[in-house]
């Protein structure tokens, strides 16, 4: 290994020294679809993972113990976790004839931060958008394979994507507040969902959890668009959590922000993982090392090459290609 590579790895290692893992079990999950109870869809209660449940029912295709690490289409590392909220199994996504994701197998653990990293065009955002069916909005997008949320395949016909997105919220790269007051930005989703009780309290709680309340509590009637970029992004996070999702997907949420605003968002993401499951796409490897518990490395061809604890990925990756990527040899 060159001195330069060693130097980069040392830098990442020192950042990793401060990384802790979120823990805690999740509360009983609600159902995906408003009609779920009527249709008999039930979410896993968290007492066991969906794969374990299917194993008991004899319907699982494999268990974490028999992941074939030698197979070329399986990622290295530990693609399956004990407390999975999201489970991808042989997931392919195509845009017309272009395959953007190729046989993805990985789990996203509950109440942790999972970072998705990799070079441009390797399918990170596509994977994130698959999780709350945002790809449905792209005409040419087609999904094959299985993607489970609490053991329910989110691509089943009886899943309502709008209900799904209430449970799996999303924050985008560019802050996109509505041209409304700060208060109304956060209250909007509550009103749409008919959650008209305790709106004031829910708005305040969401702003507090998004680490924004102190800065804006005297200006809740002012436009969200008048906030700084970093504040706007925290407002979008408050909007996303006001409706009480279980999972928050973040697509490069800090890439448009200055270092101070970025640092606040990073602190916030770590705090959010105490209550929510967070999956974040980032191009910033130091950021992934600083804030995530698990890291998934996607490389060209829409392949998930390695998925493991973040410190393992950055300190001692199994794959030479992953080591080359995280030490900046390409990407």
Ligand X SMILES: Nc1ncnc2c1ncn2[C@@H]1O[C@H](COP(=O)(O)OP(=O)(O)OP(=O)(O)O)[C@@H](O)[C@H]1O
Q: For ligand X, which is the closer residue by CB, 73 or 198?
A: 73
What backbone phi and psi angles, to 5 degrees, belong to 251? -105, 100
Q: Is 192 in the site for ligand X (CB under 6 A)?
A: no
Residues touching ligand X, count (CB under 6 A): 13
Q: Which residue has the tokens 């060159």?
A: 2
Residues 6+ apart with CB under 8 A from 192: none
CB of 255 to ligand X, least distance (A): 10
CB of 254 to ligand X, least distance (A): 14
What torsion do the CA atoms of 9, 124, 105, 49 make, to the nearest 10 degrees?
Answer: 90
**DSSP assignment of 134-180, as one string?**
GGGGSTTEEEEEEEEETTEETTSTT--HHHHHHHEEEE-SS----SS
Rounded Cα–Cα distance for residues 190 and 193 (Å): 5
Residues facing residue 116 across a β-bridge? 281, 296
Give the E-state strand segments of 51-125 in sequence order: 76-77, 84-95, 98-109, 113-117
CB of 263 to ligand X, least distance (A): 22
CB of 94 to ligand X, least distance (A): 9
Binders of ligand X among residues 108 to 147 (CB under 6 A) are 118, 120-126, 138, 140
Q: Is 18 in the site for ligand X (CB under 6 A)?
A: no
Q: For ligand X, which is the closer residue by CB, 54 or 283?
A: 283
CB of 121 to ligand X, least distance (A): 4
Residues facing residue 303 across a β-bridge? 299
Binders of ligand X among residues 205 to 224 (CB under 6 A) are none
In the chain, % helix, strand, coil (3-state, to 5) comes to 40, 20, 40
CB of 124 to ligand X, least distance (A): 4
CB atoms within 10 A of CB 201: 9
Of 64-72, 93-101, 153-161, 313-321, the window that binds ligand X (rule: CB under 6 A) is 93-101
Q: Which residue has the tokens 């990799």?
A: 118
Q: Is 1 in the site for ligand X (CB under 6 A)?
A: no
Residues facing residue 107 across a β-bridge? 87
Burial 75-84 (b: 16+ CB within 10 A, else e): bbbbbbbebb
Radius of gyration of the chain (CA): 20
Q: For ligand X, which is the closer residue by CB, 138 or 192?
A: 138
Q: Is 301 in the site for ligand X (CB under 6 A)?
A: no
CB of 323 to ligand X, least distance (A): 19
Q: For ligand X, which is the closer residue by CB, 94 or 183?
A: 94
Q: For ligand X, which is the closer residue by CB, 70 or 120?
A: 120
Q: Is 98 in the site for ligand X (CB under 6 A)?
A: yes
Q: For ligand X, which is the closer residue by CB, 49 or 262?
A: 262
CB of 212 to ligand X, least distance (A): 26
Q: Is 95 in the site for ligand X (CB under 6 A)?
A: yes
Q: Is 304 in the site for ligand X (CB under 6 A)?
A: no
Q: For ligand X, which is the closer residue by CB, 35 or 300?
A: 300
Residues that bind ligand X (CB under 6 A): 95, 98, 100, 118, 120-126, 138, 140
């Amino acid at each position: 290994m060159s001195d330069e590579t060693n130097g980069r790895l040392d830098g990442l290692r020192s950042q990793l020294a401060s990384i802790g893992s979120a823990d805690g079990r999740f509360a009983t999950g609600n159902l995906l679809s408003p009609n779920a109870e009527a249709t008999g869809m039930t979410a896993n209660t968290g007492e066991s993972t969906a794969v374990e449940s299917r194993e008991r029912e004899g319907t699982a295709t494999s268990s974490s113990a028999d992941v074939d690490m030698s197979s070329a289409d399986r990622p290295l590392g530990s693609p399956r976790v004990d407390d999975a909220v999201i489970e991808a199994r042989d997931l392919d996504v195509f845009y017309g004839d272009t395959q953007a994701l190729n046989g993805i197998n990985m789990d996203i653990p509950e109440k942790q931060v999972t970072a998705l990293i990799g070079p441009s065009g390797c399918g990170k955002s596509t994977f994130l958008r698959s999780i709350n069916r945002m790809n449905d909005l792209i005409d040419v997008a087609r999904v094959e394979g299985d993607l489970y949320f609490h053991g329910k395949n989110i691509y089943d016909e009886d899943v309502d994507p709008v209900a799904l997105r209430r449970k799996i919220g999303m924050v985008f790269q560019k802050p996109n507040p509505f041209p409304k007051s700060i208060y109304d930005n956060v209250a909007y989703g509550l009103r749409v969902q008919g959650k008209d009780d305790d709106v004031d309290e829910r708005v305040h709680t969401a702003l507090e959890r998004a680490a924004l309340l102190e800065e804006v509590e005297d200006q809740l009637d002012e436009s969200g668009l008048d906030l700084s970029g970093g504040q706007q992004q925290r407002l979008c996070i408050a909007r996303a959590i006001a409706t009480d999702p279980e999972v928050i997907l973040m697509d490069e949420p800090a890439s448009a922000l200055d270092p101070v605003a970025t640092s606040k968002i990073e602190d916030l993401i770590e705090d959010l993982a105490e209550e929510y499951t967070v999956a974040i796409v980032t191009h910033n490897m130091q950021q992934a090392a600083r804030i995530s518990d698990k890291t998934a490395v996607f490389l060209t061809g829409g392949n998930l090459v390695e998925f493991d604890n973040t410190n393992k990925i950055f300190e001692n990756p199994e794959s030479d290609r992953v080591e080359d990527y995280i030490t900046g040899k390409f990407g």
